[in-house]
Amino acid sequence: MSQNSAPRYPLVLVPGMLGFIRLVFYPYWYGIVEALRRGDAVVFAVQVSPINSNEVRGEQLLARIDEIVRETGAAKVNLIGHSQGALTARYAAAKRPDLVASVTSVAGPNHGSELADHLHRHYPHDSVRGRLLTGLLRIVSALICWLDTGYRGPKLPVDIHGSHHSLTTEGVALFNQRYPQGLPESWGGHGPEEVSGVRYYSWSGTLQPGKTDRGRNLFDGTSRYCRLFARTFVRERENCDGMVGRYSSHLGTVIGDEYPLDHFDIVNQSLGLLGKGAEPVRLFVEHAARLNAAGL
């Protein structure tokens, strides 16, 4: 990518649930930040609460956007959110469209995650299994905060119930009523290209036997989990990436929704271990050029 195809505004990468910037030396956006920077894009990988509601995470993101526009002198930013990071970005853009040039959802549960629905049904908060899951999430979240060498801000609050409610079909439906910007009008359709001056885009992948379960994914435990999690899906059983359904991911202009990428492959995890025919980093580099061509 040459200099003149770098986006005009900084790219702000927002992680999903249990996300981070860099665990010691290990980055969340594996190989992606470097690839974008090679094309001269200005890139910020940011951190928000690993476990919290879309609204709390969105407010944290807004504070970070404020810092970035002050630091860079840019008028606004392009937000790219993975998984719950997409909902976090949508919240920020709905509240401050003047500070956001675009929102891009990468495997975002824009209509909820059927995996979250399954956990809601089978691991209720007041059950033993629910308490065990809550305890485990607290430990993992504390470890992430402790090991994240890329984050230097204040201690991030944890709200497990708020986080969970922010990801179920029912919880996201309520979120969508308040923040409908970019959503398609019909299930499986595209959303509007632009709302309140903010451009909306999305892409996602699906599990594809013979592709996503082959190649270097044979050595990636997260790929195995995605195949297990996919069994909890009902509505989009044959059409999900293990954590998010193909149509549930739609937002704004749908760039693609059938890439052979599971929910972790799509951000080049783990360690770039991918299935056959997978090129997640290329999707980010192409998108930077797309934003540039749109004047963003």
H/E run at residue 93: helix 84-95
Q: Catalytic residue at 83?
A: yes
Q: What does the block give as tokens for 156?
A: 């991030």
Q: Which of residues 146-175 bind Ca ion (CB under 5 A)?
A: none
3-state secondary structure of 256: strand
Which of 23/145 has CB closer to Ca ion? 23
Residue 40 a catalytic site member? no
Annotation marks residue 248 as catalytic: no
Shortest Å, Cβ 285 to Ca ion: 19
Query: Which residue among the candidates 117, 148, 213, 241 is catalytic per the annotation?
Result: 241
Distances (CA, A) of 92 to 36, 161, 195, 199, 238: 23, 21, 13, 13, 32
Among 57, 265, 281, 285, binds Ca ion (CB under 5 A): 265
Cβ of residue 215: shortest distance to Ca ion, in angstroms?
A: 9
Residue type, 166: S
Q: Both tokens of residue 33?
A: 């930040």
Which residue shows structure tokens 């986006």?
A: 7
**What are the φ/ψ torsions at residue 240 (nearest 5 degrees)?**
-145, 165
β-pairing, 77-82 with 100-106?
parallel
Looking at 223, 232, 239, 249, which residue binds Ca ion (CB under 5 A)?
223
Binding segment toward Ca ion, per CB under 5 A, in 62-70, 230-238, 249-257, 264-272:
264-272
Q: Which of 49, 53, 82, 83 is catalytic?
A: 83
Binding residue for Ca ion (CB under 5 A) from 114, 148, 220, 241? 220
273 binds Ca ion per the rule CB under 5 A: yes
- Tell me which residues touch Ca ion (CB under 5 A): 217, 220, 223, 265, 273
